């Protein structure tokens, strides 16, 4: 039977019973005792007197049939032990209501307790005594007898009467089952405990045994002592057991999972160590360590923002763990290279010396006074308020008018680097913002690519061809651009590849476009638009003399003494070899001349050369453009219109012809819908006014009419050719030619009114260059003339008209 209690104490290991922590206990301590004497379950062997000594205990309840270890320290308790004969004297154990009470009186104790015999007394070195008690039976306190030298009381034994019912049996089976399950799950309880459990047949003993060994709070323990009905006790225990079993199962599951993950990490660690060992054997490890060390250094050197650095270090850590041969290795490697090479904190010092900037702008560009002034104002504001959000500039104008070179000059005058990307044809948001790293071969977008290339975070960044951005199913690049150009947002511009914000607020963006209209309005709003219209022949001549020729000479290694290009030659190039609003082709032709002369000089054929008008054909070939004016006019049915295209103003020769038919109107040429409609309108105005205009109405039934708008690679559209189409048709119908030196522009209404048009300056420039003398313009455009420089319209006769009658008067020979 000693074994029984050995087992029992084992059974009450930490998980089972935690009601007595040594630091809290004074009198009581429960532990396993191997030296117990055999114990007889027959508690009635001991005769219980009516008055017995009471030992107050704290933190625990001793149940009948169990053996408990108690530590005794208080004087009155020691006095009681002195009067106690081991194995003979019966004492009463009563639990304190409050474990903190140091000198408990009867009022501080519960009134139901357990009689017990002291099995053993062990004197401890510090004067305290340890005792082993064996609980015998329940009693109730009846009368307090004495409090000195120890508590004495009259008691009444409480007898448990067990009536074996089916329900009680079932309850016992169920509780036993749960307890067995608990033993199986608790690694600290030996398997034999379940054998022990099977041996306790009496339900009351079973309840007491389990109550002693389950973890519960004191009031609950006491309640299980007070309750005499074993069925009720077993019910309570079954609930406690179920609860503890659940906790145990859960913790078992968690432990299992933890173990699993530890196993996995250990396995990985082990494999990695092996891999390292293999790599070292193969001599790879050193190279790799060196590579990783270098990357680490690069990360630190790049001085990136904290969050980015953390991410980079995380990736580096990942890199460290994957074999160099895996595809992911190179993905992470490329990413880290990108991150390290971005100019996170490299920037040029701004030089905002306005006088110097002005010098540079003047040195690089002829005239453009208004534009230079705008740029200088812009720089001045930057100087006074460097952190302020200045507007983004956008240069609008035809090709070759100096948009790019102005951008370069701005960069030079501020001491910044210059980068340029063309947005023409960009349809994919990823072009701007990059692809996510999950894509194979992903890269950052153009913005970050250029910044890395230029190696500075504050360059002048030119976005060319903003009017040619497209949008399709791959997303709208303009929305990404909006973010780039928004000073409120672009300090946290997030590229998909980088997946970390990059501050673009110090970049100075400049947009360029041929037209303002196609630029999405939201983008236009973000920018300060500066228009650069085309140059007149005179301006081109000046630019050529002062800028283009000296520049080309220098580029071709020629000195002024080597080559002189006469003004007449330059004028011929402008008139007959180029047709443009800017000076790009002019510069190209000058470059061609310089090349030819450089060859001659290098071959020592010649020492110096002067190029006149007649030399051009041998170098540049036959002339490319001829004035069509003389060819075209003089015939009824031809009228000269003025068009505005992306390359500047242009003459538009509109031809009409009649052929037998039924009065249909046909239109051909590279023209758009709006122009077609305005031809219809012109035709209707003529029909409606035929009589007044002296036109034979019968013609309309016998002829078909055809309007053709020839020439020009550039498609044309817009209503402004209405007047010219009208004139061309009237000229045909009346058999009167238009005056050769007259050009016209204007939209017409069905009532014959002439409405204003756009692109006035470009159109007048083109007219003047083509040798037109008189231009017919809508009266309502008169106010726009004030914006045009007087030189541009010098020598042009401007006729402002209100309606179609005015037009005919000015355009047709012999009309009054
Ligand atoms: P864009 O970008 O408008 O198409 P560019 O800036 O490429 O035009 O200009 C073409 C060439 O013409 C450049 O070499 C530029 O220096 C020159 N150029 C244009 N306008 C002027 C000017 N006003 N003065 C001097 N050179 C000019």
Place of tokens 């402004």: 720
User: 729 C-alpha to center of ligand 1: Å?
Assistant: 41
In three state form, how does the secondary structure of 142-180 look? EEEEECCCCCEEEEEEECCCCCCCHHHHHHHHHHHHHHH
Does residue 104 line the site of ligand 1, with CB under 6 A?
no
Which 3 state secondary structure label does DSSP give 655? strand
Tell me how long the chain is: 816
Does residue 401 line the site of ligand 1, with CB under 6 A?
yes
Nearest Cα residue to atom 15 of ligand 1: 402
Angle (CA) 110-112-116 rounded to 5° is 110
Q: What is the pLDDT of residue 8?
A: 40
Q: Quick: pLDDT tens for 749-770.
A: 999 999 998 888 888 888 887 7
Which of 365, 370, 402, 574 has the most ligand 1 atoms within 8 A of CB, as the residue to mutate? 402
Q: Which one-letter DSSP state was computed for residue 40? A: -
Determine the average pLDDT of the residues in 510-527.
86
Sheet holding 527-531, edge to edge: 418-422, 460-464, 508-513, 392-396, 527-531
Q: Could you give phi then psi for residue 635, rounded to 5 degrees?
A: -110, 135
Which of 370, 395, 401 has the most ligand 1 atoms within 8 A of CB, as the residue to mutate? 401
pLDDT band at 631 (very low <50, low <70, confident <90, very high): low
| Rounded Cα–Cα distance for residues 277 and 283 (Å) | 10
Does residue 543 line the site of ligand 1, with CB under 6 A?
yes
pLDDT band at 5 (very low <50, low <70, confident <90, very high): very low
User: 401 C-alpha to center of ligand 1: Å?
Assistant: 5
Q: What is the pLDDT of residue 33?
A: 37
Does residue 365 line the site of ligand 1, with CB under 6 A?
yes
Does residue 558 line the site of ligand 1, with CB under 6 A?
no
pLDDT at 712 over 70: no
pLDDT at 62 over 90: yes
User: 584 C-alpha to center of ligand 1: Å?
Assistant: 7
E strands present in 552-618: 563-565, 609-611
Which 3 state secondary structure label does DSSP give 366? coil
Pairing of strands 774-778, 797-801: parallel
Q: What is the pLDDT of residue 472?
A: 63
Query: Cα separations (Å) of 246 from 217, 466, 712, 713, 780?
Result: 18, 68, 88, 85, 92
721: closest CA among 641, 615, 793, 783? 641
Structure tokens at 578: 């180029």
Residues 6 or more apart whose Cβ sits within 8 Å of residue 192: 7
Q: Quick: pLDDT tens for 361-406.
A: 998 898 888 888 888 888 888 888 877 776 788 998 888 899 999 9
Query: Cα separations (Å) of 361 from 190, 399, 530, 543, 544?
Result: 94, 19, 16, 14, 17
Alpha helices in 689-759 (DSSP H): 699-702, 722-734
Q: What is the pLDDT of residue 184?
A: 86
Which 3 state secondary structure label does DSSP give 458? coil
Does residue 547 line the site of ligand 1, with CB under 6 A?
yes
Q: Which long-range contacts (CB under 8 A, 24 or more apart) does 597-602 make?
A: 597/556, 597/558, 597/562, 597/563, 598/556, 598/557, 598/558, 601/558, 601/562
Does residue 584 line the site of ligand 1, with CB under 6 A?
yes
Structure tokens at 434: 């990059």
pLDDT band at 44 (very low <50, low <70, confident <90, very high): very low
| Rounded Cα–Cα distance for residues 217 and 563 (Å) | 111
User: 607 versus 550: which is more confidently predicted?
Assistant: 550
Classify residue 35 as exposed, middle or buried by CB count within 10 Å of its CB (0-12, 13-18, 19+): exposed
pLDDT at 4 over 90: no
- Does residue 149 have a cis bond before it (omega within 30 degrees)? yes
| 663 neighbors 701 (Cβ within 8 angstroms) | yes
| Rounded Cα–Cα distance for residues 796 and 775 (Å) | 7
| 340 neighbors 298 (Cβ within 8 angstroms) | yes
Residues 6 or more apart whose Cβ sits within 8 Å of residue 705: 656, 657, 658, 663, 664, 665, 666, 683, 729, 732
User: 287 C-alpha to center of ligand 1: Å?
Assistant: 52
User: Catalytic residue numbers?
Assistant: 720, 763
Place of tokens 């608790």: 186
Determine the average pLDDT of the residues in 59-79.
90
Determine the average pLDDT of the residues in 223-243.
93
Share of the chain above pLDDT 70, in %: 90
330: closest CA among 343, 318, 342, 341? 318
Query: Cα separations (Å) of 356 from 363, 376, 413?
Result: 10, 10, 7
Nearest Cα residue to atom 17 of ligand 1: 402
Structure tokens at 443: 């890269």
Place of tokens 């990942």: 318
Q: Quick: pLDDT tens for 131-143.
A: 999 999 999 999 9
368 Cα nearest atom in ligand 1: 23
Does residue 405 line the site of ligand 1, with CB under 6 A?
yes
Q: What is the pLDDT of residue 515?
A: 82
Which 3 state secondary structure label does DSSP give 84? coil
Q: What is the pLDDT of residue 36?
A: 37
| 813 neighbors 735 (Cβ within 8 angstroms) | no
Angle (CA) 566-572-578 rounded to 5° is 125
User: 149 C-alpha to center of ligand 1: Å?
Assistant: 117
pLDDT band at 182 (very low <50, low <70, confident <90, very high): confident
Does residue 87 line the site of ligand 1, with CB under 6 A?
no
User: 536 versus 454: which is more confidently predicted?
Assistant: 454
| Rounded Cα–Cα distance for residues 194 and 199 (Å) | 9
pLDDT at 183 over 70: yes
What value does the CA radius of gyration of the chain take, rounded to a whole number of Å? 53
User: 760 C-alpha to center of ligand 1: Å?
Assistant: 22
pLDDT at 298 over 70: yes
As a whole number of Å, the end-to-end CA separation of the chain is 143
Does residue 69 line the site of ligand 1, with CB under 6 A?
no
User: 364 C-alpha to center of ligand 1: Å?
Assistant: 9
- Scored b (16 or more CB within 10 A) or e, 389-425 reads eeebbbbbbbbbbbbbebbbbbbbbbebbbbbbebee
pLDDT at 95 over 70: yes
Which of 364, 583, 588 has the most ligand 1 atoms within 8 A of CB, as the residue to mutate? 583
pLDDT at 799 over 90: yes
Nearest Cα residue to atom 6 of ligand 1: 402
User: 400 C-alpha to center of ligand 1: Å?
Assistant: 5
pLDDT at 713 over 80: no
Determine the average pLDDT of the residues in 518-535.
84
Residues 6 or more apart whose Cβ sits within 8 Å of residue 711: 628, 653
| 759 neighbors 649 (Cβ within 8 angstroms) | yes
């Amino acid at each position: 039977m000693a074994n029984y209690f050995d087992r029992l104490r084992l059974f009450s290991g930490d998980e089972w019973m935690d009601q007595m922590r040594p630091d809290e206990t004074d009198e009581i301590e429960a532990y396993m005792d191997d030296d117990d004497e055999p114990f007889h379950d027959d508690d009635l062997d001991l005769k219980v007197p009516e008055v017995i000594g009471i030992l107050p205990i704290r933190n625990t309840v001793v149940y009948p049939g169990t053996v408990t270890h108690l530590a005794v320290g208080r004087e009155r308790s020691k006095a009681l032990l002195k009067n106690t004969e081991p194995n003979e004297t019966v004492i009463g154990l009563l639990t304190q209501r409050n474990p903190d009470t140091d000198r408990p009186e009867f009022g501080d104790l519960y009134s139901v307790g357990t009689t017990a015999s002291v099995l053993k007394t062990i004197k401890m070195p510090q004067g305290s005594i340890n005792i082993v008690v064996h609980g015998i039976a329940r009693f109730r306190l009846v009368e307090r007898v004495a409090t000195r030298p120890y508590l004495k009381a009259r008691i009444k034994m409480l007898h448990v009467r067990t009536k074996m019912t089916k329900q009680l049996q079932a309850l016992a089976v169920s509780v036993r089952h749960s307890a067995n399950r608990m033993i199986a799950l608790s690694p600290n309880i030996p398997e034999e405990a379940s054998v022990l459990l099977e041996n306790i047949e009496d339900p009351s003993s079973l309840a007491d045994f389990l109550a002693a060994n389950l973890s519960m709070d004191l009031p609950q323990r006491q309640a299980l002592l007070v309750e005499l009905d074993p069925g009720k006790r077993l019910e309570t225990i079954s609930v406690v057991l179920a609860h503890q079993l659940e906790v145990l199962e859960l913790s078992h599951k968690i432990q299992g999972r933890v173990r699993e993950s530890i196993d996995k990490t250990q396995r990985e660690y082990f494999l990695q160590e092996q891999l390292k060992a293999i790599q070292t054997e193969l001599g790879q490890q050193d190279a790799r360590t060196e590579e990783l060390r270098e990357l680490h250094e690069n990360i630190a050197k790049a001085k990136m923002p904290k969050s980015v650095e953390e991410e980079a270090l995380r990736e580096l850590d990942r890199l460290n763990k994957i074999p160099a041969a895996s595809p992911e290795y190179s993905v992470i490697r490329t990413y880290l290279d990108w991150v390290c090479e971005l100019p996170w904190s490299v920037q040029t010092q701004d030089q905002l010396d306005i006088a110097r900037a002005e010098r540079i702008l003047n040195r690089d560009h002829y005239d453009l006074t208004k534009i230079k002034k705008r740029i200088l104002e812009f720089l001045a504001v930057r100087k006074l308020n460097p952190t302020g959000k200045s507007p983004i500039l956008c240069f609008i104008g035809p090709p070759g008018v100096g948009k790019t070179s102005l951008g370069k000059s701005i960069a030079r005058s501020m001491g910044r680097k210059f980068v340029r990307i063309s947005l023409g044809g960009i349809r994919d948001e990823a072009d701007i913002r990059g692809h996510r790293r999950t894509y194979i071969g992903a890269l950052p977008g153009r913005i970050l690519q250029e910044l890395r290339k230029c190696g500075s975070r504050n360059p002048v960044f030119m976005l060319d061809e903003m009017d040619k951005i497209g949008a399709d199913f791959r997303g709208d690049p303009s929305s990404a651009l909006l973010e780039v150009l928004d000073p409120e947002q672009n300090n946290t511009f997030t590229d998909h590849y980088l997946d970390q914000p990059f501050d673009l607020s110090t970049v100075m963006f400049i947009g360029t476009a041929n037209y303002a209209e196609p630029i999405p309005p939201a983008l236009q709003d973000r920018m300060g638009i500066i228009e650069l219209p085309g140059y007149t022949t005179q301006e081109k001549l000046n630019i050529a003399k002062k800028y283009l020729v000296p520049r080309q000479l220098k580029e071709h290694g020629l000195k002024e003494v080597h080559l002189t290009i006469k003004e007449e030659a330059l004028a011929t190039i402008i008139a007959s070899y180029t047709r443009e609003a800017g000076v790009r082709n002019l510069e190209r032709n000058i470059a061609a001349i310089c090349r030819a002369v450089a060859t001659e000089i290098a071959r020592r054929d010649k020492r110096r050369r002067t190029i006149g008008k007649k030399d051009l054909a041998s170098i540049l070939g036959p002339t490319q453009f001829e004035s069509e004016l003389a060819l075209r006019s003089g015939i009824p049915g031809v009228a000269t219109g003025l068009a505005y295209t992306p390359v500047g103003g242009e003459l538009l020769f509109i031809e009409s012809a009649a052929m037998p038919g039924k009065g249909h109107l046909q239109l051909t040429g590279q023209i758009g819908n709006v122009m077609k409609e305005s031809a219809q309108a012109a035709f209707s105005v003529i029909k409606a006014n035929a009589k007044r205009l002296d036109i034979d109405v019968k013609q309309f039934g016998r002829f078909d009419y055809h309007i053709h708008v020839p020439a020009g690679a550039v498609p044309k559209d817009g209503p402004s050719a209405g007047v010219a189409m009208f004139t061309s048709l009237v000229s045909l119908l009346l058999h009167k030619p238009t005056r050769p030196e007259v050009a016209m522009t204007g939209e017409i209404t069905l009532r014959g009114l002439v409405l204003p048009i756009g692109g006035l300056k470009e159109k007048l420039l083109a007219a003047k260059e083509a040798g037109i003398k008189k231009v017919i313009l809508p009266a309502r455009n008169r106010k726009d003339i004030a914006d045009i420089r007087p030189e541009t319209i010098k020598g042009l006769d401007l006729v402002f008209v209100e309606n179609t009658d005015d037009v005919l008067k000015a355009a047709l020979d012999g009309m009054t």
